[in-house]
């Protein structure tokens, strides 16, 4: 009997929750699928090789957006040229799960897989939604040498407030919406303390300085240079993203075929005043920020600090140059 479903479990994802129970998932799948738990990137590569050899039609991921992105990149690397991607199925098992929210997937992994198995057993086609992606190509420093790399993803914080925010977010003991609010509140309070005319302990000021520290880079969007090199934000999104239900970002990517880019020397006060706009999911009011739909974002690190972009919650370190363009459309199962 064919087994069209493959479930990959990342036990390290969503650390505010217990990982999915491999035995329980296997019982839900029955003869309709396979399940494999992974603990590192090597095992993810091996699991994807097994998916490819099995000819899996739907790949369900117990993990967050970063795990989904890792599986996607491995599939693209291991599938034969011209082969169609299997449908990916995020299962609300991470800390933000913006891909699942984008396509409207509801419920726990057990509920999602239960619905999927019933559809397969009844011979019903599983609907899919194609979403745009980002293609990242660039160079990074490895073992003292510049090496080329490429990645596919959906949401990029290449520098400035977004990249600094995620560095703080992932240091929180409990992740999710409350952690997003905590990081923002601490950053705003720390920055405000630095503006009052009283002596404040340095440790209280460091948090805000870290979050609002600009990224030194030269940026062009569709071949036009963005003014300045001290960027308070360098971001790209393939579609509108809900950050834990707290903020909605990249509204200019609601329509397919172009990416939402942000770059410029936006200053901390403007970032703070823009918080209501992020809650509403509207553009950021700032004359210093270039915010536009586009096709190509190019970034070159300047100064002593190399770039440390965050792609779908996962860090890319020691990046020298980065070009972001529209990537392939990715099929996401909606069940």
Per-residue model confidence as pLDDT tens digits over 161-199: 999 999 899 888 888 899 999 999 999 999 998 887 777
Q: Where in the chain is the domain with CATH 2.60.200.40?
A: 134-169+212-329
Q: Say what the pTM is.
A: 0.91
Q: In the structure encoding, which two tokens stand for residue 31, read together? A: 């003869």
Q: Where in the chain is the domain with CATH 3.40.50.10330?
A: 5-126
Sole residue written with tokens 């005319």: 197
Mean pLDDT for all residues in the chain = 91
CA nearest neighbour of 48 among 75, 10, 69? 75
Please report the pLDDT score of residue 20 as a whole number.
72
CA nearest neighbour of 279 among 251, 313, 307, 314? 251
Q: Please report, rounded to a whole number, the percentage of residues in the chain having pLDDT higher than 70.
A: 96
SS3 259: strand
To the nearest 10 degrees (0 to 180), the angle between helices 109-121 and 22-29 is: 20
Q: What is the DSSP string of 38-106?
A: -SSHHHHHHHHHHHHHHT-SEEEEES-HHHHHHHHHHHHHHSPTTPPPPEEEE-S-SSS-HHHHHHT--
Please report the pLDDT score of residue 14 as a whole number.
54
Please report the pLDDT score of residue 321 as a whole number.
97
SS3 172: coil
pLDDT tens string 14-48: 554 556 788 898 999 998 999 988 877 678 889 99
Q: Could you tell me if 236 and 322 are in contact, meaning their C-beta atoms sit under 8 angstroms apart? A: no
**Distance of alpha carbon 13 from alpha carbon 165, whole angstroms:** 19
Which residues fall within 8 angstroms of residue 123, CB to CB, at 6 or more apart? Answer: none
Query: In the predicted model, what is the mean pLDDT of residues 267-275?
Result: 94
**Distance of alpha carbon 19 from alpha carbon 276, whole angstroms:** 34
SS3 183: helix
Please report the pLDDT score of residue 292 as a whole number.
97
pLDDT of 10 higher than 80: yes
Please report the pLDDT score of residue 308 as a whole number.
95
Q: Could you tell me if 36 and 56 are in contact, meaning their C-beta atoms sit under 8 angstroms apart? A: no
Please report the pLDDT score of residue 154 as a whole number.
97
**Distance of alpha carbon 78 from alpha carbon 306, whole angstroms:** 30
Please report the pLDDT score of residue 18 as a whole number.
58
Please report the pLDDT score of residue 279 as a whole number.
94
**Distance of alpha carbon 225 from alpha carbon 244, whole angstroms:** 33
Which residues face 131 on adjacent strands?
Answer: 330
pLDDT tens string 209-264: 999 999 999 999 999 999 999 999 999 999 999 998 899 999 999 998 899 999 99
pLDDT tens string 94-113: 888 999 999 999 999 999 99
pLDDT of 266 higher than 50: yes
Q: Which helix (H) or strand (E) holds 43?
A: helix 41-54
Q: In the structure encoding, which two tokens stand for residue 115, read together? A: 């619905």
Buried b (16+ CB within 10 A) or exposed e, 152-178: bbbbbbbbbbbbbbbbbbbebeebbee
Q: Could you tell me if 77 and 34 are in contact, meaning their C-beta atoms sit under 8 angstroms apart? A: no
To the nearest 10 degrees (0 to 180), the angle between helices 161-169 and 177-193 is: 120
Domain 134-169+212-329 annotated CATH 2.60.200.40:
yes
Query: In the predicted model, what is the mean pLDDT of residues 258-283?
Result: 95
Which CATH superfamily, name and number, covers 5-126? Probable inorganic polyphosphate/atp-NAD kinase; domain 1 (3.40.50.10330)
Q: Could you tell me if 274 and 287 are in contact, meaning their C-beta atoms sit under 8 angstroms apart? A: no
């Amino acid at each position: 009997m064919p087994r069209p479903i493959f479930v990959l479990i990342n036990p390290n994802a969503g650390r505010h929750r217990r990982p999915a129970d491999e035995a329980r998932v296997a019982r839900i799948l029955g003869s309709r699928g396979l399940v494999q738990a992974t603990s590192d990137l090597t095992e993810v590569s091996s699991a994807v090789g097994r998916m490819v050899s099995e000819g899996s039609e739907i790949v369900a991921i117990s993990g967050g957006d970063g795990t989904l992105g890792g599986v996607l990149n491995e599939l693209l690397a291991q599938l034969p040229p011209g082969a169609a991607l299997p449908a990916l199925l995020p299962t609300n098992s991470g800390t933000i799960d913006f891909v699942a929210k984008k396509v409207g997937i509801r419920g726990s992994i057990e509920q999602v897989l239960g619905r999927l198995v019933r559809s397969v057993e009844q011979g019903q086609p599983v609907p899919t939604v194609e979403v745009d992606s980002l293609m990242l190509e660039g160079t990074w420093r490895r073992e003292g040498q510049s090496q080329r790399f490429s990645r596919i993803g959906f949401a990029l914080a290449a520098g400035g407030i977004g990249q600094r925010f995620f560095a703080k977010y992932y240091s929180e003991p409990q992740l999710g919406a409350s952690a997003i609010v905590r990081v923002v509140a601490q950053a705003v309070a720390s920055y405000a303390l630095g503006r009052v005319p009283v002596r404040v302990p340095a440790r209280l000021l460091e948090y805000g300085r870290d979050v609002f520290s600009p990224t030194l880079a030269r940026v062009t969007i569709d071949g036009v240079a963005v003014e300045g090199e001290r960027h308070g934000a360098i971001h790209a999104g393939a579609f509108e993203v809900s950050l834990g239900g707290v903020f909605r970002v990249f509204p200019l990517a609601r329509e397919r075929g172009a990416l939402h880019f942000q770059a410029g020397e936006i200053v901390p006060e403007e970032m703070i005043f823009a918080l209501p706009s992020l809650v509403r999911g509207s553009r950021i009011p700032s004359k210093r920020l270039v915010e536009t739909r586009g096709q190509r974002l190019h970034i070159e690190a300047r100064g002593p600090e190399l770039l440390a972009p965050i792609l779908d919650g996962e860090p890319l370190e020691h990046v020298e140059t980065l070009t972001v363009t529209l990537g392939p459309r990715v099929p996401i199962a909606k069940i």
